Amino acid sequence: MSTDKGCASIQTQSSRLFGLPSLVSEKARVLVLGRFPSITSLARQQYYAHPQNQFWRILQAIFGSSPREISAISYEERSDWLLEQGLGVWDVYASCARKGRSVPLVIIVPS
């Protein structure tokens, strides 16, 4: 999950960032809402991509049905597995600007 600490609606000279497409299907029973992907997740174009993020491991501990260690399989396989569990992932901000890695999000545009 993102390590950012809060939001502000002030303008900056920062570049606009755009989030990731949602991971949802018609089978989704639970929607995991996030704020906005971390710098690492945006760079890799994967939700919860930072190696220290426990999101995928926690889901595997809860559902226990992944064929292998969840962090060892491809993002596409993890995404398919997540959808098979009836889960979806969606960030509530479609875009924002950010001054640095740990600076709060600014200029937020809701999804």
Return the active site residues: 53
Query: What's the rounded Cα separation, in Å, for the pair 91 and 69?
Result: 25
Question: Collapsing DSSP states into helix, strand and coil, what is residue 92?
Answer: coil
Name every residue whose Cβ is closer than 8 Å to that of residue 102 and which is 6 or more positions away in sequence. Answer: 3, 4, 5
Token pair for residue 56? Answer: 């995928």
Yes or no: say if 105 and 93 are a contact pair by the CB < 8 Å rule: yes
